Structure 1
Amino acid sequence: MNRSKRFFSVLASAMLVALCAAASAQQSIPTSGTWRGSLTSNTKSVVAVDAQFDATSVSLHFDEPYNCRIVANLLAKDGVSTRYRFKPSTNGGDFCTRLYPGDLVATPGTKQVTLSIAMKNATTWTGDLSGPATSP
């Protein structure tokens, strides 16, 4: 194999590795922007939620009847899921107060992210949120 063919072969391999790494990183943390959807509890309550992701945290805004905001910082990546730990709520509200110091698990999918939250009182909330490109 001559030098130029070897160079292009190595370059192509390096580009493939970089693309795979970028795709893997994209799947582990949802892309920036607002993700919208609803969460349902194990007691069948439903609440609308907006999630704003960045590289190190997620900010959640829960709609009525809870009407509160809370931020969770990146804690760990576990396979395709990402675990975040809630900080104290900035605007209070009983619902958000009960989330602290719990965890949020975000599992990305195609154009959606699945959120799972376990509260101190053993209530669990799960749901799918649509990504920025598919938000209304």
Structure 2
Amino acid sequence: MTAPLIRAAVVGCGRVSRTAHYSSLKENEDFDFVAVCDTDSARADEWAQKNNVGAYHDIDELLDRENLDFVTINAPNGLHPQLAVKAAERGVNVMCEKPLGMSLAEVDSLIETCDRAGVKLYTVLQNRFNA
């Protein structure tokens, strides 16, 4: 029996998403890449069309409409904790670009939120000593 696909979305349609996250999700047979989200509506619409996925301009709308299992957060650094908490509180596993937060208190709060929600939290550290 085949495991169900992991329904995933990318939040933030900047360079990192375009050069790494989109292709990783599309090429991995365990994922169903279903949507992108960016407050820059033209950018979200463009990348949604290029990837044949849904476009959202607000994370709350994305989380309300899609039944997601996993989201990547690739937005400006100061937004990482806020966006990750929104996903975690809805039971969505989170992979967040570094930094997880702008202070240790923000990171601790994010970890606690994910623990309470029973979701996984990952941070991207593709270069071990380049954080």
Tell me the TM-score normalized by structure 1: 0.24
Quick check: which one's strand share is greater?
1
Task: Report which of the two structures shows the higher radius of gyration computed on alpha carbons.
Answer: 1
Quick check: which one's helix share is greater?
2
